[in-house]
Structure 1
Amino acid sequence: MFKVAVIGASGLLGRAVVDELVRQQTWDVVATAFSRPGPNTVALDVRDTRAIGQFVEREAPDALVIAAAERRPDVCERHPELARALNVDAVRAIAAAAHRSGAWTLSISTDYVFDGTHPPYRHDSAPAPLNAYGRSKLEGEHALTETTDLGCVLRLPLLYGPIVSWAESAVTSLVPAIAAAASAQGEAAAMDAWAIRYPTFTPDVAYVIRQMLERHAEGNAIRGIVQWSGDEPMTKYEIALRLAHALQLDARLTPQHTPTDTTPRPHNCHLASDRLEQLGIGRRTPFETAIPQVLAAFPWRGDTAA
């Protein structure tokens, strides 16, 4: 029996990973959560080094997937100590416990480790993060690679997928403003048309992670740094237009061609996925196919406060 622990299983990516892995009938999946524990999850605070060690020793997984993180750039900018606790220290503690038990560790990182000036970025391109979030995730990469030689970092871009609230993804977080801009009393909504993003479907990422875990189960563990990304470039303005179309809303949207975020964000951090592709790993669902699935599972009824 191949055993996988998914750390941070209640989040946007963690749920998709668990949903994918539990389909493997010969695998044992242990899911942990902190802020939203459920009946099928183990309560675990990744800031508690002792609790992490006890969990790994007790469960003895063959592999761990770290999906827990502070991924909101503005929060990381305001609270760098929180970003460090979740994105660096927790990764180091989990990797150390996994190293002691001989388990393979997969840690999730971000395209924000790059400054966005010279895309596409390969796995071995020189990082140059612009904000506290990117810096904390880069430190988290180092925490993993310096702590265990049986581990891998998977860099990902903007994620979207099945949600529990509109705010859970930067893609679906646009829906309330789109809905307001479509109402009779609403004003036009300004949407960023400067930064180029590559929305990536969480079920596709979960599929990639499952393929990576299969290689480890077969004795061919992937180590170092790999990247996966959707291949459709679009700005938030273009994402909003597609969302409005999918929701059948006639929203008044205005493109904003200069950056306005208080937290600096990179222009274009397109991640090259060639290292995984060369291993026959990967799946990409077109945005036009995936986004109706997301909206259908979390139906819009005019109530955008959820």
Structure 2
Amino acid sequence: MKTILVTGSNGLLGQKITERVLATKQFNLIATAKGANRYPVKEGYLYAEMDILDAANVNEIVAKYQPDAIIHTAAMTNVDTCEDQKELAYALNVKAVETLIGVCGQFDIQLIHLSTDFVFDGADGPYDEEAPTCPLSYYGQTKVEAEELLQHSKIKWAVLRTIIVYGIVSDMSRSNIVLWAKAALEKGQPINVVNDQWRMPTLAEDLADCCLLAVAKEANGIYNASGKDMMSISELVAKVADFWKLDKGLIKEISAETLNQTAKRPVRTGFILDKSIRDLGYAPHSFQEGLEILNEQLRSKETV
């Protein structure tokens, strides 16, 4: 049985990978994050504190466990924060990958790295894996640099690019566009939502499955790993309102320009998923199915 080490295991994707591994018992798991373990189940895997910015710490932990694969989910993903804090963004999104490449080379470890649709400018979406990158933001630039480090390395690697990940963690500490829209509309709060950007939102469980498929199939190269439905951000929020029977009258559609966001966003991204479906057996849910899964999880939390 292969052993996988996950970075950023306290995050949404990290927790879903833990959940999946515990359910399938397909891998041995070493979960790592900065600080204490926030996943509610503590048995069935090992947890180690690891600061991805501390190269010595990373080398020590990886050398101790020598996993077959590392799934690297830790990153700075807030696009505007990356623009404002470039040094930290570079350390988290590029230097950390450089550290992992070094230690993976030393112990012959496969590295699965998470990337983003923001490596593109959004002028020509949806994109396949061969499309030339052209980031509009510093966040996108750091992700392109990390991808290039892997492409020029001699290790076994796979990049999984994803788009707007949504889902819930046990303590509800992580928000995302679906939970944000649902919570605001339930409180009767009016919300401004852009109607001129298009994406393919990704259920966290689907992305976790794709990460584990990449390990199982010893994937090599770049793969798209998003949801399968393309929609504008305002359509996404309207679907959330419809699903939970909330007041769509509270949704005010605006253009992205009026938001004055620090970082530029691509207009239309989206992915062609044929390669991941064919080579990895990736099988993402529709957005409607994703909302149904989320609803079941929320209901089971209420009955606990």
TM-score over 0.5 for the pair = yes
Identity across aligned pairs (percent)?
Answer: 25
Give CA deviations for 1:169-220 in whole Å, capped at 9, x if unaligned: 233222343234x2xxx5x32211110011111111111222221112xxxx
Name 2:163's counterpart in structure 1: 157
Give the 3-state SS of the residue equivalent to 1:98 in structure 2.
helix
Name 1:242's counterpart in structure 2: 239
Distance in 1 of aligned mates of 2:282 and 2:231: 21
8 Å Cα contact 1:228/1:272 also seen in 2: no
Name 1:7's counterpart in structure 2: 7
Distance in 2 of aligned mates of 1:128 and 1:56: 33
Deviation at 1:167, TM superposition (A): 5.2
Mapped pair 1:210 → 2:215: no
Deviates more, 1:158-167 or 1:109-118: 158-167
Deviation at 1:166, TM superposition (A): 7.0
Stretches (4+) displaced over 6 A:
none
8 Å Cα contact 2:9/2:32 also seen in 1: yes
8 Å Cα contact 1:166/1:172 also seen in 2: no
Deviation at 1:124, TM superposition (A): 1.5
Distance in 1 of aligned mates of 2:260 and 2:155: 38
Taking a change above 3 Å as real, the CA distance of residues 280 and 29 of structure 1, as seen in their structure-2 partners, is: closer
8 Å Cα contact 2:164/2:201 also seen in 1: yes
Taking a change above 3 Å as real, the CA distance of residues 273 and 261 of structure 1, as seen in their structure-2 partners, is: farther
Name 2:143's counterpart in structure 1: 137
Distance in 1 of aligned mates of 2:106 and 2:173: 39
Q: How does 1:108-187 map to 2 (within 5 A)?
A: 108-163=114-169, 164-165=171-172, 168-180=175-187, 182=188, 186=189
Distance in 2 of aligned mates of 1:177 and 1:23: 33
Taking a change above 3 Å as real, the CA distance of residues 169 and 36 of structure 1, as seen in their structure-2 partners, is: farther
Give the 3-state SS of the residue equivalent to 2:67 in structure 1.
coil
Match of 1:198 among 197, 200, 203: 200
Mapped pair 1:274 → 2:274: yes
Distance in 1 of aligned mates of 2:228 and 2:126: 11
Name 1:219's counterpart in structure 2: none
Distance in 2 of aligned mates of 1:175 and 1:35: 30
8 Å Cα contact 1:8/1:67 also seen in 2: yes
Give the 3-state SS of the residue equivalent to 2:242 in structure 1.
helix
Distance in 2 of aligned mates of 1:166 and 1:58: 30
Letter in 1 for 2:137: N
8 Å Cα contact 2:83/2:138 also seen in 1: yes
Taking a change above 3 Å as real, the CA distance of residues 105 and 70 of structure 1, as seen in their structure-2 partners, is: same
Distance in 2 of aligned mates of 1:130 and 1:261: 15
Taking a change above 3 Å as real, the CA distance of residues 77 and 295 of structure 1, as seen in their structure-2 partners, is: farther
Letter in 2 for 1:179: E
Distance in 1 of aligned mates of 2:97 and 2:225: 20
Give the 3-state SS of the residue equivalent to 1:22 in structure 2.
helix
8 Å Cα contact 1:87/1:136 also seen in 2: yes
Deviation at 1:286, TM superposition (A): 1.8
Normalising by structure 1, report the TM-score. 0.88
Deviation at 1:295, TM superposition (A): 4.1
Give CA deviations for 1:229-273 in whole Å, capped at 9, x if unaligned: 212112221122222223332242121144324121001111222
Give the 3-state SS of the residue equivalent to 1:14 in structure 2.
helix
Taking a change above 3 Å as real, the CA distance of residues 97 and 232 of structure 1, as seen in their structure-2 partners, is: same
Letter in 2 for 1:126: P
Distance in 2 of aligned mates of 1:53 and 1:203: 29
User: Please, what is the CA RMSD of the aligned residues?
Assistant: 2.1
Unaligned runs of 5+ in 2: none
Name 1:293's counterpart in structure 2: 293
Name 1:90's counterpart in structure 2: 96
8 Å Cα contact 1:121/1:272 also seen in 2: yes
Distance in 1 of aligned mates of 2:35 and 2:185: 29
Normalising by structure 2, report the TM-score. 0.88
Q: How many residues align structurally?
A: 291
